[in-house]
Amino acid sequence: MSSLPGLMEGRVVLVTGAAAGVGRGVAAAFGSAGAIVGIGVRRPEAAEETAAAVAATGGTPVILRCDVTDAVQSADAIEQLVRDFGRLDAVVHNAVSGRSSEATDFENTTLDEWEDHASVTVRATWRLAVQAYPHLQKSQGAYLLMSSPAGIEGSERAPFYSAVKAAQRGFVRALAREWGPDHIRVNSVAPLAISPALENMKILEPERVKRIEGLVPLGRLGDPETDIGPPSVFLCSDEARYVTGQTLVVSGGRFTSL
Amino acid sequence: MASSASTLVIGSSSGIGFSIAQRLRTRGDSIIELPSTLDLTNAEAVGESLRSLVGSGSVDRVVLAAIDPSAFRSAPIVSLTESEWDQAAEYPMRSAFVALQQAHGVLADGGRVILILPTVAATGVAGLVPLCTAVETIRVMAKAVARRWGARSITVNTIEVELAAFMLGDSDAGDTEVTMVPVLGQPALPPASAVDDVIGLIDMLASPAAGAITGALLVADRGTVMQP
């Protein structure tokens, strides 16, 4: 469990893609900071573990059906939080395409595959911002995007994934300037963390995981809740009131030149 | 100095792409241009057009300077419809993907790909969120393909110029409605033709001496944005 007591006490946060991995860890970290955590997921039945993790850390979990590619669902999720709790202080957009860990054959693929990535990571990034804007304006809140180091250095294996993650970085820089006068802060986190795909790899290809860990100066992959969660909470909290337009690389030192 | 190499210029119907194509043609380079009416997101049409232009040969250089002019319109994101967002942010991304993918099919081993983009994404610009989003996407897409195509000794690099230079190239603003972009800094160097600056960098990147440079970003804004 991370230790962020009180940092987000009574604040209301929506975390998308919160059923597992980094999303679940970040949601739990917001819970430990005292937040009411909207757990945005495509299938509510898949959110029970996250809800339990948020409750276990002292937060208030609210499971929300929120397929971010569906404009109505994301609007409803935001409206439900505002209706039930009277405010929205932060949105953390973490959801990614279900194909995000797949390799992309750039030279032979089609725009259909691009659309899978862009609809979740590019279009929904814009749409969530638009839908949350009046509420974040009122609370002088924060919009946080979970990007990736791949979105900075470019990935040979996953060119689409890295491109859409880069999109979020460009979005953050520009929107931070646009929303600065409203006192809404816009940042991103580029984490290197254990994901469900890496958990699988640990079982199937333990040597490969060891090789990856060997590239990290701190010697391990980040834990979603205790390593990625706290910097994410910090960026949405009042403690980061003067931080906007930034991408914080949280990678155990793996990426030092980004 | 004229080059005997063949250069495919994508985005040559307006702005800096037009000026680059014109300069290279004037000095005697062999230039290949796609029809200005071609939808760059139509992979089949782009591929077919390229094959008919290139025949059984290949191209040595690709200069890609294609961003839909709708992306230059300044507007707060909350005022955009989904269709406006798509046209300004996502259409340029799709175009870049299709252009790079299809160009790869006609590019010679050892070829050079040079993307020309506006500097906006480095700093972010209020009112131009879609454009900044698109530019950062394309920048990193270029890095990804630089990694993928390195085995064929193909280099992929990006040159960035100020937005006004990107939009206008050599032409005078004239009647063109130029987006009023907030000035983020003053150039350290005296003013000069951005097209001259870019042509010089294209020649440098296309030279054998630059064979080890790939995935790089060169900012030719006369010192306006000096990145940390």
Q: What structural domains does chain A harbor? A: 12-193+223-250 (3.40.50.720)
Any CB–CB contact under 8 A between A118 and chain B? yes
Any CB–CB contact under 8 A between B77 and chain A? yes
Query: Are the CB atoms for A129 and B77 separated by under 8 Å?
Result: yes
What residues in A contact B94, CB-CB < 8 Å?
A: 111, 114, 118
The C-alpha atoms of residue B66 and residue B115 are separated, in whole angstroms, by 9
Look at residue A78 in the predicted model and tell me its pLDDT.
Answer: 98
Query: Are the CB atoms for A64 and A13 separated by under 8 Å?
Result: no
Look at residue A208 in the predicted model and tell me its pLDDT.
Answer: 86
* pLDDT, tens digit (0-9, with 9 covering 90-100), for B2-11: 667 899 999 9
Prediction ipTM score: 0.95
Burial class (CB in 10 A: 0-12, 13-18, 19+), B58: middle
Class of the CATH domain delimited by B6-219? alpha beta
Cross-strand partners of B158: B115, B217
Mutate to test the interface with B, among A130, A133, A179 (most CBs of B within 10 A): A130
Whether residues A174 and B125 touch (CB distance < 8 A) is answered with yes
- Going from the C-alpha of A130 to that of each of A91, A106, A134, B82, B83, the distances in angstroms are 11, 31, 8, 10, 14
* pLDDT, tens digit (0-9, with 9 covering 90-100), for B104-163: 999 999 999 999 999 999 899 999 999 999 999 999 999 999 999 999 999 999 999 999
Render the burial of A61-84: b for 16+ CB within 10 Å, e for the rest. Answer: bbbbbbbbbbbebbbbbbebbbee
Look at residue B183 in the predicted model and tell me its pLDDT.
Answer: 56
Q: What is the DSSP string of B84-134?
A: HHIIIIIHHHHHHHHHHHHHHTTEEEEEEEEEEEETHHHH--TT-HHHHHH
Domain boundaries along the sequence of chain B: 6-219
- Going from the C-alpha of B225 to that of each of A38, A231, B91, B139, B202, the distances in angstroms are 40, 29, 26, 16, 20
Residue B172 has pLDDT above 80, yes or no: no
**Low pLDDT (below 50) residues in chain A:** none
Average pLDDT over residues B183-201: 88
Any CB–CB contact under 8 A between A145 and chain B? no
Look at residue B21 in the predicted model and tell me its pLDDT.
Answer: 96
* pLDDT, tens digit (0-9, with 9 covering 90-100), for B77-100: 999 999 999 999 999 999 999 999
Any CB–CB contact under 8 A between B134 and chain A? yes
What residues in B contact A172, CB-CB < 8 Å?
A: 124
Any CB–CB contact under 8 A between A41 and chain B? no
Look at residue B191 in the predicted model and tell me its pLDDT.
Answer: 87
Residue B177 has pLDDT above 90, yes or no: no
Of B187 and B156, which is predicted with more confidence? B156
Cross-strand partners of B50: none
- Residue A78, classed as helix, strand or coil, is helix
| Facing residue for B124 by CB, picked from A162, A164, A174 | A174
